[in-house]
Amino acid sequence: MKFVTMCLALVCAFGLTAGASAQQGPLRITIEEGIITPLPFAVPTFQAETAEAGQLAQDLVRVIAADLQGTGVFREIPSSAFIAQYTDFNAPVSFPDWKAINAQALVTGAVAVTGNSVNVKFRVFDVVSGTNIGEGLQFSGTTDGWRRMAHKVADEVYSRITGEGGYFDSRVVYVSETGPKNQRAKRLAIMDYDGANVRYLTDSSAIVLAPRFSPTGDRVLYTSYATGFPRIYVLDIGSVQQRVLESAEGTMSFAPRFSPSGNTVVYSLSQGGNTDIYTMDINSGQSVRLTNTPSIETAPSYSPDGSQIVFESDRSGSPQLYIMSAGGGEAKRISFGEGRYGTPVWSPRGDLVAFTKQNAGRFHIGVMRTDGSEERLLTASFLDEGPTWSPNGRVIMFTRETQGEGGASSLYSVDITGRVLQRVNTPEGGSDPSWSPLQQ
Amino acid sequence: MRSLGIISALMALALPQIARAQELSAAERVAFGRSVAACWNVQQDAAAVTLGFELDRAGRPVMQSVRLLRSGAGTDAAIVAAFSAAKRAVLRCGAKGFDLPVEKYQQWRNIELTFDPERMVLR
């Protein structure tokens, strides 16, 4: 019996020693809980390399800072807190001065203006480690396009620090609204993502709805009531030329959206009181019916790979979200929460579906996984609807309408955490936004 | 002979007690992890990365020693960004030295820290 006890003791001793011996290697720890706070950055006014560049250097920096700050991922440190005087793009960076004000990232740059030409160069630094983040980069353009250059710089900074594509050098097409609620004039407008450079694409002689960008950002689909009934048009943004996509007489077509290839349009067609989903080859005009049910099927949106379509249907008795193959066939319901779901839009990353939800007298913009799991509501108001994704799938823009006779529509954006909700400044009211891909 | 065997066994039992005394306690490990996490600014859907680095006796990271050992799935840009964020966390929170017991320096001189954001995603 004693022999057994001694053996057990030795075995235990060996096991523990081996364990202790393993501790002579590096200390291994896994961290799963961090913080989500905006990263403090500094962007001093760029060096003006020519006399004409002074104002532009300030303007560029204001746009870059606003882009980054607006993501909620970054927090700008005001220039009043700066210790270092930044005057020379090629001078060594005094990291202790930037560390002292708790900057973690630093963007420096220089601008040269010659006649109508602008050259912007910049560098991004990790202040904590005192190193460059990537190589210096420069963009050239014209003075008219200075905002785009600022957005491109901001996209590059965002991408280098987060590892994701940016979304600042993009545009939004939307319905501009003026006049009282019961007699509102609507026309298509296009603007930079931040509300700058608004340009009107149609007049307000006919009601227009639901503009949708093509995958290359050069065309827009929309629904117009020019004939008294809804019909789908395609508009070339460069030439502002438009043409109707023909559909059978006596039918109404609406809710169009491009396929990822840009060659096909998926849309709703109403005939004899029934609404189903169809596709149309945009060149030949040949259409294919995808659903055939007595219920209302609408608001189709392709997955980024073009293989599936998410759409809204009331086949279960109330509007819910469904996914089917891009060729049609059996659909699978993905929304099961309380309330009514509509206007689903597949994320460009492919991982989420954004939607409008109405429940208990309130409207919400929300997201869920494509299998319907992990539903999260990002907003709540009297009326929020019509989400559209930023090119990188991190931000959603939508329409918010205020209550009452004087209620007005405005554009808002929210990031997918729901933490950063912002109004998008437009000269008039706005609704039905559609976000373009990043510009080429 | 029998008593000699018992002494051997007791010595064997005592050795791991000495080794364990030099190890960081669970509380010390958790406190260290938390002190780094306090500076780890997580991006949505960031890649998981494992950093290796050395600490000096004052608990300060030796900057040149910070290196990427392993990474999870992600694009090159996502991994570089995740590595940079993890490195910033180590350097920022360790700038004044992590609070670690100096008598156990050999236990925490070399560190492997895995930053795994999966549980934080979409919250």
Give me the residue spans of the domains in chain A: 39-162, 173-435
Q: Among candidates A220, A226, A233, A231, which has minimal Cα distance to A190?
A: A220
Residue A312, pLDDT above cutoff 90: yes
Q: Residue A417's pLDDT is what?
A: 85
CB contact at 8 A, A355 and A128: no
**Mean pLDDT, chain A, as a whole number?**
91
Report whether CATH 3.40.50.2000 matches the domain A39-162: no
From chain A, the residues in CB contact with B39 under 8 A are 35
Phi/psi of residue A359, nearest 5 degrees? -155, 135
From chain A, the residues in CB contact with B108 under 8 A are 27
Identify the band that residue A149 occupies on the pLDDT scale cut at 50, 70 and 90: very high
Query: Residue type at A27?
Result: L
Q: Among candidates A389, A405, A392, A399, which has minimal Cα distance to A424?
A: A399
- In sequence order, the β-bridge partners of residue A35 are B41
- Please list, in sequence order, all residues whose beta carbon lies within 8 angstroms of the beta carbon of residue A200, skipping any fewer than 6 positions away: A176, A187, A188, A189
Residue A14, pLDDT above cutoff 50: no
Residue B12, pLDDT above cutoff 50: no
Residue A35, pLDDT above cutoff 90: no
From chain B, the residues in CB contact with A161 under 8 A are 81, 84
Q: Residue A422's pLDDT is what?
A: 95
Q: Residue B44's pLDDT is what?
A: 66
Region of poorest pLDDT, from A90-94, A194-198, B21-25: B21-25
Q: Does A39-162 match A173-435 in CATH topology?
A: no
Q: CA separation (Å) from A359 to A220, A300, A362, A404, A417?
A: 32, 22, 5, 19, 20
SS3 A296: coil
Residue A15, pLDDT above cutoff 60: no
Q: Give me the mean pLDDT over the A230-252 stretch.
A: 91
Residue B10, pLDDT above cutoff 60: no
Domains for chain B: give ranges and CATH numbers: 25-120 (3.30.1150)
Q: How far apart are CA A207 and CA B20, in angstroms?
A: 78
Q: Residue A164's pLDDT is what?
A: 86
Q: Residue A17's pLDDT is what?
A: 28
CB contact at 8 A, A432 and A209: yes
Nearest to A394 among B42, B44, B75 (CB): B44
Residue A2, pLDDT above cutoff 70: no
Q: Give me the mean pLDDT over the A263-290 stretch.
A: 94
Q: Residue B119's pLDDT is what?
A: 60
3-state secondary structure A148-203: HHHHHHHHHHHHHHHCCCCCCCCEEEEEEEECCHHHCEEEEEEEECCCCCCEECCC
Rounded to 5°, the CA angle A369-A163-B120 comes to 45
A275-284, B15-24, B35-44: which is most confident: A275-284
Task: Name the H helices within B1-123.
Answer: 2-22, 26-37, 76-93, 105-108
Q: Give me the mean pLDDT over the A244-272 stretch.
A: 92
* CATH numeric code, A173-435: 2.120.10.30
Region of poorest pLDDT, from A21-35, A387-401, A408-422: A21-35
**Mean pLDDT, chain B, as a whole number?**
80
Phi/psi of residue A264, nearest 5 degrees? -125, 145
For chain A, list residues whose CB is within 8 angstroms of any CB belonging to chain B: 2, 6, 9-10, 12-14, 16-17, 19-21, 23-37, 39, 73, 104, 126, 128-129, 133, 159-164, 374, 376, 394, 416-417
What does the pLDDT look like over A71-121, one tens digit per residue?
A: 988 999 999 999 999 999 999 999 999 999 999 999 999 999 999 999 999
pLDDT > 90 fraction of chain A, expressed in percent and rounded: 82
SS3 A52: helix
Residue with tokens 């997580």: B42
Q: Residue B25's pLDDT is what?
A: 84
Angle of helix B76-93 relative to helix B26-37, nearest 10 degrees?
110
Q: Residue A24's pLDDT is what?
A: 63
> Which tops the pLDDT comparison, A161 or A107?
A107
From chain A, the residues in CB contact with B40 under 8 A are 31, 34-35
Q: Give me the mean pLDDT over the A346-369 stretch.
A: 96
Q: Give me the mean pLDDT over the B51-57 stretch.
A: 95
Q: Residue A330's pLDDT is what?
A: 95
> Which tops the pLDDT comparison, A426 or A404?
A426
Rounded to 5°, the CA angle A113-A191-A263 comes to 110
